[in-house]
Amino acid sequence: MTEQAISYESAESLRKNKQYTQAAQQFAQLWQQYTTKMIGWRYAQCLRKSGQLEEAEQLAREAHEKFPDDEWTAKELFWVIYDKELKPAKENSDLGRLLYHARQALEFTQDSFAVNRTVLTVIKVAKAKGKWEVVLEWADKAQPNELNTVPPTNVRGGMSDKEVWYVNRSRALYEIGRFEESRIFANQGLQEFPNEVFLARTAALALAETGNLEQAVEELRALLKHPKADWYFKTDLADLEMRAGNIEEAYHLVCEALLASRQGHEYRLGAFRTLTALALELDKLDVAIAHIELTKMIRSQEGWKTREELLKLESKANTMIKAKDWEKPSLPANVQQLGQICRRYWQAGVKIGITRYRGTLKYNAEKSFAFITREDGGEDVFVLVKELPVSCKKNGARVEFSLESSFDRKKQRDSVIATHVECIPE
């Protein structure tokens, strides 16, 4: 066996055993002696895998110049650029850098895995920045038949690559105003992933924009029972109910949504805008002013400009204040204290426009749920212990509550649960 064969065999064994630093050292010697394509891309890969990205790029480009028609060399150059440029750009949310190097990297390969990985990387950053035209442009570069359809096992509730593609492409079509296409594409995705709630959400919202508001409300309301329906689904529904003229229902929904949200105030600004508009319609000037001021504080804190729609709402509020000869309330000058005031408004708002019920609590401190025996003779109502005020957590407590649609998995039927529970003073 020749010295070349022994050296190559040794280097390749190290590479296959993921001993990349040692393998790179041996491939470096081979590359100096025998400049072949089979050594070139392997040497570049070992440099890349051992974190020597500058050296890996230099070697991969040199090998590609020598062997421009070798797909393995070209593919390795792609992955070097991906690790060296695309990954840091993604981590830093640097869309400009990401786009520049993504386009450059894809000049070297059209391998489906490489293309789809790049597409999903760009989509994630572009979506976070609200650059929906970019999302659509790159979604259309994907090779969808090669996208993984199996959700990741290490992420609870995670979506497969193909679901991510469907969700983001349909949403991009919606955001840029191509509503009919958005609904068609979302429904196409639902044929393949019938339980994908975000596709169903986009399909409903797109339907509303094409003129069928009533059906859109029905579809979106049905989604509230879905276990993955987050708090902002209720905000979406509140927006549609407001457009349909159901102001009290919309107000109730957006207050429920805000109480359910665990995110920071900066993620709730859209809901604050909706609540402000509804509060003005209901002549709740104190609520509207508090949310206008809270929104302005948050935007200033984040270094964001005040949006035109907020200025219009503030102008409308000021006109109403002047017409009523009403004095603005004195509000706290910090976000935390003003947020607490707004939260009290939400707690009051969930009772607007809905029926309240009374009953007696069946409580067991060892369980995470309880039941309420209704005074009106209806079936006992399920309630989560986390929904109970501390003072109510005792067997026999009299409570007042609202009912919310749910699904009883044990009995496999539509049901209701108790929400917004309050103690009735003894």
Question: How confident is the model at residue 6, as a pLDDT?
Answer: 52
Residue pointed to by tokens 């572009």: 126
- Report the chain's mean pLDDT, rounded to a whole number: 92
The per-residue pLDDT for range 8-52, each reduced to its tens digit, is 899 999 999 999 999 999 999 999 988 999 999 999 999 999 999
Is residue 219 a contact partner of residue 240, using CB atoms and an 8 Å limit?
A: no
Pick from 34, 55, 73, 46: which is nearest to 8 by CA? Answer: 34
Question: How confident is the model at residue 218, as a pLDDT?
Answer: 96
Residue 74's CB is within 10 A of a number of other CB atoms, namely: 21
Q: Which residues pair with 359 in a beta bridge?
A: 374, 399
Question: How confident is the model at residue 400, as a pLDDT?
Answer: 84
The per-residue pLDDT for range 78-110, each reduced to its tens digit, is 999 999 999 999 999 999 999 999 999 999 999
pLDDT category of residue 2 using cuts at 50, 70 and 90: very low
> Which of 203-217, 285-299, 317-331 has the lowest average pLDDT?
317-331
Angle at 118 between CA 115 and CA 120, to 5 degrees: 110
Alpha carbons 319 and 360: distance in angstroms, whole number: 47
Q: Is the pLDDT of residue 152 over 70?
A: yes
Q: Which residues pair with 407 in a beta bridge?
A: 414
The per-residue pLDDT for range 321-349, each reduced to its tens digit, is 999 888 888 999 899 999 999 999 999 99
Question: How confident is the model at residue 181, as a pLDDT?
Answer: 98
Is residue 371 a contact partner of residue 389, using CB atoms and an 8 Å limit?
A: no
404-408: list long-range contacts, CB under 8 Å, 24+ apart. Answer: 405/224, 405/225, 406/225, 406/382, 407/225, 408/382
- The average pLDDT across 393-413 equals 79
Output 409 or 301, whichever has higher pLDDT.
301
Burial letters for 95-122: b for 16+ Cβ neighbours within 10 Å, e otherwise?
Answer: bebbbebbeebbebbebeebbbbbbbbb
Output 156 or 10, whichever has higher pLDDT.
10
Burial letters for 346-371: b for 16+ Cβ neighbours within 10 Å, e otherwise?
Answer: beebbebebeebebbbebeeeeeebb
pLDDT category of residue 285 using cuts at 50, 70 and 90: very high
- The average pLDDT across 229-243 equals 95
Output 374 or 207, whichever has higher pLDDT.
207
Half-sphere exposure of 260 (CA within 13 A, CB side): 18
Is residue 121 a contact partner of residue 94, using CB atoms and an 8 Å limit?
A: no
CA distances from 197 to 147, 187, 230 (A): 19, 11, 10
Collapse the DSSP code of 143 into the 3-class scheme (helix H, G, I; strand E, B; otherwise coil) and give the result. Answer: coil
Length of the chain: 426
Is residue 298 a contact partner of residue 265, using CB atoms and an 8 Å limit?
A: yes
Q: Is the pLDDT of residue 117 over 50?
A: yes
Q: Is the pLDDT of residue 1 over 70?
A: no
Collapse the DSSP code of 121 into the 3-class scheme (helix H, G, I; strand E, B; otherwise coil) and give the result. Answer: helix
Alpha carbons 23 and 198: distance in angstroms, whole number: 46
> Which of 188-192, 242-246, 375-379 has the lowest average pLDDT?
375-379
209 contact partners, CB below 8 Å, separation of at least 6: 174, 179
Q: Which residues pair with 419 in a beta bridge?
A: 402
Question: How confident is the model at residue 246, as a pLDDT?
Answer: 94
Question: How confident is the model at residue 321, as a pLDDT?
Answer: 92
